[in-house]
Structure 1
Amino acid sequence: MTRYVALLRGINVNGITIAMTDLAETFHELGYTDVKTVLASGNVIFSIDSPLVDKTDAAALKARIEKALAARFDYEAWIVLVDAESLDRIVRAYPFDADRDGWHPYVMFSSDPGHLSELAGHRKELEAAEERIELGHGVLYWEVRKSVGIKSAFSKKSAKLKYRNTTTTRNLHTLHKLLELTPG
């Protein structure tokens, strides 16, 4: 068995409301086991019988889940998949002080690495006293002052429509919660 995390984009905001019990049921109906949801922002942990062999397998799994979500909940579903082992490495590699007082620690995931590289290109434009970003292995790390939040320059850049169906951001503390539920 291999544990995966599906990070759903854009649910329980802007009129797309999905109960976590219904979300978990959808994953069960797809044949996945050990399904757990974490918070109401679209984090699903589940197991599959065997690890994905390559990017083609991962793309097929992603497409299957998105199709099921779209059919059941009548919205254009976008997810990013990450296996539990990779998620652990990503969290441990967070390059900033995750407990920095007055700051939010975030990790941006994407199903399109080119988008992460493009967004990382804005690094020098940011005011370091308000926020910082750093490109990681398959993710973009971001820390931002709580007082600035979604009004930050990077937040505005990353919110562009072109990134909507490929990126999703999670607070590092949420990722720690996910890892607590993915032992092994």
Structure 2
Amino acid sequence: MNSYAVFLRGINVGGINIRMADLKEALKARPFSGVKTLLASGNVVLASELPPAKVKAEFEACLREAFGYDAWVVVLEAARVAELVAACPYPADDASTHTYLTLASDPDMLTELYDAGTGLDGAELTRLGPEAMAWLAPAGGTLDSPFSKLSAKPKYKATTTTRNLRTMVKVRDAAAGL
């Protein structure tokens, strides 16, 4: 049995509202066990015999069928989440900045985003692997930061999602308990 973290893109924002209790209930019919939801922003840990690509396909199908939501998720093995958190060179938060990890299901799209982001004024980005990068945003100004605006473009919607490092730590800890 493999432990996974699943990160949903774009729920409970922009009119797409899914209660985590309803999501957990819908996932019962899928080949998953130990399902736990974390926060209301679409973070799930679970166990499955399936490989990551099949977990992604099953999870997205569940979201479409149960909620009518054209879903995109990023699936990472729990051990990989722990490695990414450990590899992040930035603090979880300090007085002036917040640390985020952008996760991707398509490494080529993440490379494109990373390359475009490195040219932005004041952007501090670190590639953590083929599926993740870390970046800093000014405290209180995350959504207004040039990199946040870049990563919100529709072309990245189906393949990337972003989480605060503190959230990633919570997901790591929850997945370790599976």
2:132 equivalent to 1:139: yes
Contact (CA 8 Å) 1:4, 1:82: kept in 2 or not? yes
Aligned residues: 176
CA distance in 1, matches of 2:88, 2:64: 32
Q: Who is 1:150 aligned against?
A: 143
User: Displacement of 1:122 after TM fit?
Assistant: 2.8
TM-score if structure 2 supplies the norm length?
0.92
C-alpha deviations, 1:67-125, integer Å up to 9, x for none?
Answer: 11111001101100001000000000002233332211100001111111111113442
User: Displacement of 1:61 after TM fit?
Assistant: 2.3
User: Displacement of 1:163 after TM fit?
Assistant: 0.4
2:130 equivalent to 1:111: no
User: Displacement of 1:152 after TM fit?
Assistant: 1.1
2:15 equivalent to 1:15: yes
Contact (CA 8 Å) 1:116, 1:135: kept in 2 or not? no
- Alignment-mate amino acid for residue 77 of structure 2: D
Higher relative contact order (CA 8 A, sep 6+): 2
Contact (CA 8 Å) 2:117, 2:150: kept in 1 or not? no
CA distance in 2, matches of 1:181, 1:18: 20
Structure 2: gaps (5+ residues): none
- Alignment-mate amino acid for residue 181 of structure 1: A
Map 1:152-167 → 2, pairs under 5 A: 152-167=145-160
What secondary structure does 1:63 align onto?
Answer: helix
CA distance in 2, matches of 1:68, 1:150: 30
Q: Who is 1:97 aligned against?
A: 91
Considering only aligned residues, what root-mean-square deviation do their CA atoms show, in Å?
1.5
CA distance in 2, matches of 1:102, 1:155: 16
Q: Who is 1:177 aligned against?
A: 170
% identity of equivalent residues: 39
Structure 1: gaps (5+ residues): 53-57
Q: Who is 1:34 aligned against?
A: 34
